[in-house]
Amino acid sequence: AQKITQTQPGMFVQEKEAVTLDCTYDTSDQSYGLFWYKQPSSGEMIFLIYQGSYDEQNATEGRYSLNFQKARKSANLVISASQLGDSAMYFCAMRARRSGGSNYKLTFGKGTLLTVNP
Amino acid sequence: DAMVIQNPRYQVTQFGKPVTLSCSQTLNHNVMYWYQQKSSQAPKLLFHYYDKDFNNEADTPDNFQSRRPNTSFCFLDIRSPGLGDAAMYLCATSRDRGLNTEAFFGQGTRLTVV
């Protein structure tokens, strides 16, 4: 079974500083994909960044980067130069093959609530 | 412009009274998903459609049903809502069910059961 663990229910960061949101995952599959989504109070899930299990380099998208440590099964999100608009819930998610299945289910962690202070 | 649209944004229903939530998409994606998200919990996949093929999750209660009359629309029907069904319901779409396929989400419908 696939599992995503986000151990930080809430995080605080000062504006313009960097913050790391933790994510660990568990799967027996060799092929999987890791995603981070942002959910503002408005409710919509916004895709931020993707990392494939075979990608050798850490993914980056603007101020977002993913610190992928495959041996530790961790995929931490790093947000540089935090902005007030970054305050939101952040979800780590994984696509891995279903047991006995032919497609990939997207499974989410419980999320981390990030608050950026001015 | 919104690509996955959920209506209504907020829904209040009475205990036991059937309710339908709707989702539409302009992306022409093959796959449409329904997730249930309760407070402080991970979004939980209820079911998804791959084209017209319905795929139920093993632990989704029978109280939850879905319809997809065409590519653009998908409905979530709750036959007899209980207090425990109060949650945010998220609709999502994706091009396919591949490993690296991003899912696009709507803004969700917050369901209150009174």
State yes or no: pLDDT of A68 exceeds 80. Answer: yes
Position B63 scores a pLDDT of 96
**Which residues of B lie inside 8 Å of A (Cβ-Cβ)?**
9, 33, 35, 40-43, 45, 50, 88, 90, 92, 97-108, 110
Q: Pull the structure tokens for residue B6.
A: 């959920």
Residues from chain A contacting residue B41 (CB–CB below 8 Å):
110
Sheet holding B73-78, edge to edge: B4-7, B19-25, B73-78, B64-67
CA dihedral (B12, B20, A89, A83) in degrees, to 10, reads -90
Measured CA to CA, the distance from residue A19 to residue B101 in angstroms comes to 26
pLDDT recorded at residue B109: 96
B92:A45 CB<8 A: yes
Minimum CA–CA partner of A4 in chain B: B42
Q: Which residue bears the tokens 């990030």? A: A114
Distance between first and last Cα of chain B: 33
pLDDT, one tens digit per residue, over B61-97 is 999 999 999 999 999 999 999 999 999 999 999 999 8
Of B42, B107, B108, the CB nearest to A108: B42
Task: Tell me what the mean pLDDT of segment B21-30 comes to.
Answer: 96
CB contact under 8 A, A104 and B97: yes
Residue B41, pLDDT score:
87
Could you tell me the pLDDT band of residue B49, with boundaries at 50, 70 and 90? very high
- Going by pLDDT thresholds of 50, 70 and 90, the confidence category of residue A104 is confident
The dihedrals phi and psi of A32, each to the nearest 5 degrees, come to -160, 165
pLDDT tens-place string over residues A54-63: 998 999 999 9
CB-CB contact of A32 with A70 (8 Å): no
Contacting residues of B for A106, CB less than 8 Å apart: 33, 45, 103
When comparing pLDDT for B51 and A29, which is higher? B51
pLDDT in tens, A14-44: 999 999 999 999 988 888 999 999 999 888 8
Q: Do B99 and A32 touch (CB under 8 A)?
A: yes
Helix, strand or coil for residue A85? helix
